Amino acid sequence: MADATPGGQVPSAYNNTGGTLPDWLNKGDNAWQMTAATLVGMQSVPGLVILYGSIVKKKWAVNSAFMAFYAFAAVLICWVIWAYKMSFGEKLIPIWGKAGTVWGYKTMQAQAMLPATQTVDVPMATPFYPLATMIYFQFVFAAICLILLAGSLLGRMNFIAWMLFVPLWLTFSYTIGAFALWGGGCLFQWGVIDYSGGYVIHLSAGVGGFTAAYWVGPRLTKDRERFPPNNVLLMLTGAGLLWLGWAGFNGGDPYSANIDSSIAVINTNICAAMSLLVWTLLDVVFFGKPSVIGAVQGMITGLVVITPAAGVVQGWAAMIMGICAGCIPWYTMMIVHKRSWVLQQVDDTLGVFHTHAVAGFLGGILTGLFAEPHLANYFVARSNEQGAFYGGHVGGRQFAKQLVGALFIIGWNLAVTSIILNIVRLIVPLRMSEENLIVGDDAVHGEEAYALWGDGEKYDITKHGTSDSRRLVAMADATQGGQVPSAYNNTGYPLPDWLNKGDNAWQMTAATLVGMQSVPGLVILYGSIVKKKWAVNSAFMAFYAFAAVLICWVIWAYKMSFGEKLIPIWGKAGTVWGYKTMQAQAVLPATTTVDVPMATPFYPMATMIYFQFVFAAITLILLAGSLLGRMNFIAWMLFVPLWLTFSYSIGAFSLWGGGFLFQWGCIDYSGGYVIHLSSGIAGFTSAYWIGPRLTKDRERFPPNNVLLMLAGAGLLWLGWAGFNGGDPYAANVDSSIAVINTNVCAAMSLLVWTVLDVVFFGKPSVIGAVQGMITGLVCITPAAGVVQGWAAMIMGILSGSIPWYTMMVLHKRSKILQRVDDTLGVFHTHAVAGSLGGICTGLFAQRDLANYFVARTDEQGAFYGGHSGGRQLGKQLCGALFIIGWNLVVTTIILNVIRLIVPLRMPEDLLLIGDDAVHGEEAYALWGDGEKYDITKHGNSEYDDTQHGLDNNNLNVRPTPPTVEL
């Protein structure tokens, strides 16, 4: 129901006569704002902590991660004592607020307000939640700004100098930018647009970092010349948390779970995805190989460029900004940097100048071009502002304002950062001593990132290999009288009566959880469960698919899946990137049936588009699990948009969008058929046409990192709360039931699978437990909100045993299954488990629960008897057969078309080498002086890796499990 109900009746859940809750509190806004803050916090800790710790040379992993970890803590203490009020308090001068504490309970429980934000055109900002929420939300932005700045200084800054620099720079630089642009200062009053920090955070961090790098000085020459990431999979984990956390970064800045927040989230993802694709394409064209590090850089520049504009531009403009974000910073980093004497002189370790200063400046300028007047009125302190693209005197004026705002931030940061560092160096050296620079973490912190050699030892060159770096060792939510609380009375502009902020907050949260199942969840699961030589390629196949699907989704595929009916299995193609589409109430136009009205959730289309996108993306990523270890990456780049268009959109429209199976009443609650059965059948079919891995890879394909595999599996399990909990399209009773049923089934399935492993193979297998977890999650998916808890448990027993039998027993006896090389066993874990879940839905669907969801009323499962029960089982069987048959045929056609253009399988020489040959990158550089594994240098000891399973001709240290499939 909407926040303000017709006729002035107050829903009982909002009739808070107990007197504990104030009239101004909107729980939907508060829930979303806290969620958004937490997502941004997770971008820093653990996101940037592990990204920094893994993207640097091994000897600097601990120091780099600790610089980020320390800054997060130090900023919060300064924030509550003085810095919050300097940024968002009463005005002291036009660029600075009055300092003061915000730690008293009266301050924290009061309604949030930004006292200096009143202008001629807009009133003071007073969000519908307590100041405590605002303090926390704004803190995570301040913290991430310092952490981003640190990326310029990794590998040489004296840690004590960093400890002094953080509070000083926060006080004299960050608070100035934040007050001037957000807190009610001169630039805010003038109407400069910085939606979520393109200037305050990214331009500041990039300029501040570049300036600091000049004063601190460079790394050692050998570190500048060779600084490989020590762990690409952990880097992708951090990058994934950064990307999905950006839903909070930009989605939280309207200070409300409103239409603008939804638009900001989808625009953010569009720009990031397009930028990643453009950067990757440029890498392929100019350097011959798709680089996963380049893809991460492209993702980051896309996120940065859209940040100052996220809620004020249309979707097509976000796409153009993504193209600019993927090529302009690429050009400055890859071409200009190498030709510029000035840029070459300054050792900006992670290129923060290019990815944040250049991209932040570019985003601000493009905001001056593309800011749409209706959307800008949600946010800008001056009414009727617009970008230059929309013409007129106002447009040109906004462009100029953006330029002046950027120049102010650049000039201030250059001067203040220089002054701060020159003061700090009067106290302590800015740069480490030479001997600490040579040794790294062990000398600076007495700790190292890895102790993986021998009997849990740190790397010791005298025992674990000889290399040229031998010399390093020596150095050693109240109303009264039935009135609707003001916070829910959405009768004025710009909030429509149909918007329910609670539903919108949950739906955006659910979408973000599902997104995190893919990035970083499946990215790191795939990268770690495969053989080491395929870690980068496997992770990158998932990372690329996530980006590519989104671009296709907003241009044509969303409407083909959820738009007006073209034919009974397909919707009419069309774009969904205009602001009028995105801010309208969500609607699925083809879902009207004899028994139920058209689906019209109480949130904007932008939220629905984003939510349905993450389901489409994960389907392609699951399918990829069948193809790891041999598919030509260029063929995969072509396959993704084609299969999305001609297979996924058919299943989605037929079962969810109002197609013939939906109208008939076939139940697929959250994707047992649309996602899992489709990906399992298509993956198996694709594996047949592409062909097998090398024989030695099929015979021995151990996971390269079981702990990272479990991290990915954990994100997959907990993310399923969004996967199944989001599909009622509301934060209602059914969503709660779906979440608990999901976890009951997954847990039971995991336990059954583990017991079977113990009974038949004598040992509990962690890989088997992950397989059981996944089959339980897949099996409950088509039934999650329509079955009772006891039925979910029975389904867990079945999902833990039947797919176990097909994988562990039947697979080994079937010549057909043996012939097709389904790398991670997606046929068993998704096709078998998905079809099993659909059939169990036909058995156990409970009538009252089904009436929440099913397009036909009074349907029930066969277990409850009667004609309708048997009928439902028949519908479920027919639905499964349709999905199976369609995917077999269409996948076959697509692949046979692609192989007329490029080979489907890599050539033999690339298959022998793996990642280094395909991408020019390897997952780990942990040996010697941050080197890739070289048996001639790192394998001459009793603990060498030839005896730990890197040589296929030597014995393993533990028995290989019967299968290593997911």
* Terminal C-alpha separation, the chain: 41
254 DSSP 8-state letter:
T
Strands 91-93, 565-567: pairing is: unpaired
pLDDT for the residue numbered 870: 83
Q: Which residues pair with 931 in a beta bridge?
A: 927
Contacts with 193 (C-beta within 8 Å, 6 or more apart), sequence order: 308, 309, 312, 364, 367, 368, 371, 376, 379, 380, 385, 398, 401, 402
Query: In Å, how far are 869, 872, 880 from 857, measured between CA atoms?
Result: 12, 12, 21
What is the Cα–Cα distance from 376 to 311, expressed in whole angstroms? 8
- Average pLDDT for residues 885-901, to the nearest whole number? 98
pLDDT at 932 > cutoff 70: no
Cβ 58 vs Cβ 926: under 8 Å? yes
110 DSSP 8-state letter:
S
Query: In Å, how far are 408, 704, 714, 915 from 708, measured between CA atoms?
Result: 44, 9, 10, 18
Give the total residue count for the chain: 966
pLDDT in tens, 733-763: 999 999 999 999 999 999 999 999 999 999 9
From 484, 479, 684, 646, select the one nearest 569 (Cα to Cα).
Answer: 646
Q: Cα angle vertex 147, ends 142, 151, to 5°?
A: 145
Q: Which residues pair with 923 in a beta bridge?
A: none
pLDDT at 168 > cutoff 90: yes
From 368, 275, 288, select the one nearest 323 (Cα to Cα).
Answer: 275
What is the Cα–Cα distance from 52 to 237, expressed in whole angstroms? 11
pLDDT at 482 > cutoff 50: no
pLDDT in tens, 793-830: 999 999 999 999 999 999 999 998 999 999 999 999 99
- Average pLDDT for residues 321-330, to the nearest whole number? 97
What is the Cα–Cα distance from 169 to 165, expressed in whole angstroms? 6
What is the Cα–Cα distance from 947 to 160, expressed in whole angstroms? 42
pLDDT in tens, 76-98: 999 999 999 999 999 999 999 99
Three-state DSSP state, 905? strand
Query: In Å, how far are 166, 215, 351, 781 from 146, measured between CA atoms?
Result: 7, 17, 15, 42
pLDDT band for position 958 (cuts 50, 70, 90): very low
655 DSSP 8-state letter:
I
Q: Which structure tokens are listed for 966?
A: 């997911």
- Average pLDDT for residues 643-663, to the nearest whole number? 96
pTM attached to this predicted model = 0.90
459 DSSP 8-state letter:
P
**Which amino acid would we find at residue 188?**
F
pLDDT for the residue numbered 937: 56
Query: Dihedral sign, CA of 721, 726, 732, 737?
Result: negative
Query: In Å, how far are 82, 457, 516, 693, 800 from 745, measured between CA atoms?
Result: 49, 40, 21, 33, 9
From 741, 727, 863, select the one nearest 792 (Cα to Cα).
Answer: 741
Instruction: Indicate the burial class of 375 (C-beta count within 10 angstroms; 0-12, 13-18, 19 or more).
Output: buried
Query: Dihedral sign, CA of 766, 771, 777, 779?
Result: negative
645 DSSP 8-state letter:
I
Instruction: Centre a 10 Å sphere on the Cβ of residue 914 and count the other Cβ atoms it contains.
Output: 24
E strand or H helix at 749, and its extent? helix 733-761
pLDDT in tens, 818-828: 999 999 999 99
Q: Which residues pair with 157 in a beta bridge?
A: 431
- Report the number of secondary-structure helices (H) and strands (E) in the chain: 49, 4
Extract long-range pairs of 5-8: CB within 8 Å, 24+ residues apart: 5/484, 8/484
What is the Cα–Cα distance from 347 to 327, expressed in whole angstroms? 22
Phi, psi angle pair for 631, to nearest 5° = -75, 135
Query: Dihedral sign, CA of 189, 195, 198, 200?
Result: positive
pLDDT for the residue numbered 392: 73
pLDDT in tens, 395-431: 689 999 999 999 999 999 999 999 999 999 999 999 9
E strand or H helix at 96, and its extent? strand 96-97
pLDDT in tens, 95-150: 999 999 998 989 999 999 988 888 767 788 889 999 999 999 999 999 999 999 99
Q: Which structure tokens are listed for 914?
A: 């793996």
Q: What is the 3-state secondary structure (H, E, C) of 844-903?
A: HCCHHHHHHHCCCCCCCCHHHCHHHHHHHHHHHHHHHHHHHHHHHHHHHHHHHHHCCCCC
pLDDT for the residue numbered 453: 60
Percent of the residues in the chain that have a pLDDT greater than 70, as a whole number: 88
CA count, 13 A, side-chain hemisphere, 126: 11
Q: Which structure tokens are listed for 227?
A: 């600084």
pLDDT in tens, 41-87: 999 999 999 999 999 999 999 999 999 999 999 999 999 999 999 99
Cβ 175 vs Cβ 87: under 8 Å? yes
pLDDT for the residue numbered 61: 93
- Average pLDDT for residues 447-470, to the nearest whole number? 58
- Average pLDDT for residues 253-280, to the nearest whole number? 95
Q: Cα angle vertex 209, ends 208, 211, to 5°?
A: 65
CA 779 to chain centre: 25
What is the Cα–Cα distance from 227 to 223, expressed in whole angstroms? 5
Among 279-293, 376-390, 940-954, the range of highest mean pLDDT? 279-293
Instruction: Centre a 10 Å sphere on the Cβ of residue 949 and count the other Cβ atoms it contains.
Output: 18
Cβ 943 vs Cβ 463: under 8 Å? yes
Three-state DSSP state, 431? strand
How much helix, strand and coil, in percent to the nearest 5, is found in the chain?
65, 5, 30
Burial state string for 713-752 with b = 16 or more CB within 10 A and e = fewer than 16: bebbbebbbbbbbbbbbbbbebbebbbebbbbbbbbbbbb
